[in-house]
Amino acid sequence: SGSTHPDDAIRSTDDDAAASRLSAVSLGYLDDPFVSLLYRPQRIGRDSSAAHKPPLINVGTHHRTAALDAVVDSFLRASASSPQSAQIVSLGAGSDTRFWRLAARNDVRLGKYVEVDFPHLTSVKAQRIAKSKVLVAALGQGEPVGTGAIVPPAKPYKVGHGGASLTSERYALLPIDLRTPGALDQIGALLDPDAPTLVISECVFCYMEPEASRDVLAWFGSRFENVASVVYEMCGLNDAFGAVMKRNLAARNLSLPGAVPFPTPQSQAERFLDPRLGEGVFTKSGAKRLWEIRSDVVSDAERARISKLEFLDEIEELRLVLSHYVVAWGSKGPLLDGVGL
Ligand code: SAM
């Protein structure tokens, strides 16, 4: 049918993120063998360059990934001294590949990794995972089936919710609307309340009302002793360049309710310390613009390497674009005190 849902535009935003990742990978900005297993572009036609994003976008995707990876690494290092394995929750995960990238590393001790998104996206992702031997191999051991009898090895995962969920020993994918009260309890049921926990919200909270994202942060912040969270979002939408960005989004039926309440990196950092979250839910926080990430987090050697991939003539335009994206983090608990960039 031709019926549309008010959330259709939001759900399609993953396509953008995934297409940008695919472009950055195919041009050599990022090394990620899992992108093409989790995302198929809608239509490329004969010309494979049609799948390539402009250089500015590729550089942004590279820096954004580097920044999130650096926060995740900072969290994993801080968690290493805990008797419990670190666990990660990715909100609005879309077709993100981070779980598989982490599982492929042998320097990482990871407990549960939980991804959530609308059922419309998790169904597609669950199917793609189930179809790929490479993706299934990372999910952990299957439960032993009976004793004595000769049985084929157990499938290491279960599919539920009419195909919209996939759960395994190490990984779970759940169909959840983060704005639904009580929905988060389903995530909590899969997690160890005593384990160090990281909550990733990469380009997700900006599609929710600020009250709703506050409730989500408050829920996680109050449930775990050692918890950290990282948020990636646009910022500075109140200036002239921001107005252009907002117009582009409006043209795609996206109005970004949450973007305006957090216009600066500082306000993004402060959202973790908002007293309305509850007393001491997060105790430390910080933020950096993607433009600062470029010099503070991306190494000189890596910046030199990617500068050879494509010609980028407008460094001023790059500064302008990268200044409108921010990575913010918050943490609580003695173990995770220093998590951040
Ligand atoms: N985090 C992924 C990444 O960075 O590649 C995907 C980002 S995409 C821009 C935003 C994602 O958030 C979409 O997959 C969308 O379906 C999801 N999302 C937005 N609002 C949500 C909500 N209320 N509940 C669950 N998922 C939501």
Convert the chain into a string of H (helix), E (strand) and C (coil): CCCCCCCHHHHCHHHHHHHHHHHHHHCCCCCCCCHHHHCCCCCCCCCHHHHCCCHHHHHHHHHHHHHHHHHHHHHHHHHCCCCCCEEEEEECCCCCCHHHHHHCCCCCCEEEEEEEECHHHHHHHHHHHHHCHHHHHCCCCCCCCCCCCCCCCCCCEEEEHHHCEEEECCEEEEECCCCCCCCHHHHHCCCCCCCCEEEEEECCHHHCCHHHHHHHHHHHHHHCCCEEEEEEEECCCCCHHHHHHHHHHHHCCCCCCCCCCCCCHHHHHHHHHCHHHCCCCCCEEEEEEHHHHHHHCCCHHHHHHHHCCCCCCCHHHHHHHHCCEEEEEEEECHHHCCCCC
The C-alpha atoms of residue 99 and residue 112 are separated, in whole angstroms, by 10
Q: Is 121 in the pocket of ligand 1 (CB under 6 A)?
A: yes
The domain spans of the chain are 8-139+154-336
Compute the radius of gyration of the chain from its Cα atoms: 20
Q: Write out the chain's pLDDT in tens, 341 residues.
A: 456 777 888 888 898 899 999 999 999 999 999 999 999 876 555 555 558 999 999 999 999 999 999 999 999 999 999 999 999 999 999 999 999 999 999 999 999 999 999 999 999 999 999 999 999 999 987 655 556 666 656 789 999 999 999 999 999 999 999 999 899 999 999 999 999 999 999 999 988 999 999 999 999 999 999 999 999 998 877 777 777 777 877 777 776 655 567 889 999 999 999 999 998 899 999 999 999 999 999 999 999 999 999 998 889 999 999 999 999 999 999 999 999 99
Q: 35 alpha carbon to ligand 1 midpoint, in Å? A: 16
Q: 263 alpha carbon to ligand 1 midpoint, in Å? A: 20
Q: Is 208 in the pocket of ligand 1 (CB under 6 A)?
A: yes
| Model pLDDT, residue 48 | 55
Report the nearest atom of ligand 1 relative to the CA of 14.
8
Q: Residue 251: how many CB atoms within 10 A of its CB?
A: 8
Q: Is 120 in the pocket of ligand 1 (CB under 6 A)?
A: no
Query: Annotated binding residue at 170?
Result: no
Looking at the DSSP bridge assignments, the partners of residue 175 are 117
Q: 150 alpha carbon to ligand 1 midpoint, in Å? A: 43
Q: Residue 109: how many CB atoms within 10 A of its CB?
A: 12
The C-alpha atoms of residue 275 and residue 218 are separated, in whole angstroms, by 10
Q: pTM of this prediction? A: 0.93
Q: Is 96 in the pocket of ligand 1 (CB under 6 A)?
A: yes
Report the nearest atom of ligand 1 relative to the CA of 179.
23
Q: Is 19 in the pocket of ligand 1 (CB under 6 A)?
A: no
CATH number (3.40.190.10, 3.40.50.150, 1.10.300.10, 3.30.200.20) of 8-139+154-336 reads 3.40.50.150
Report the nearest atom of ligand 1 relative to the CA of 17.
5
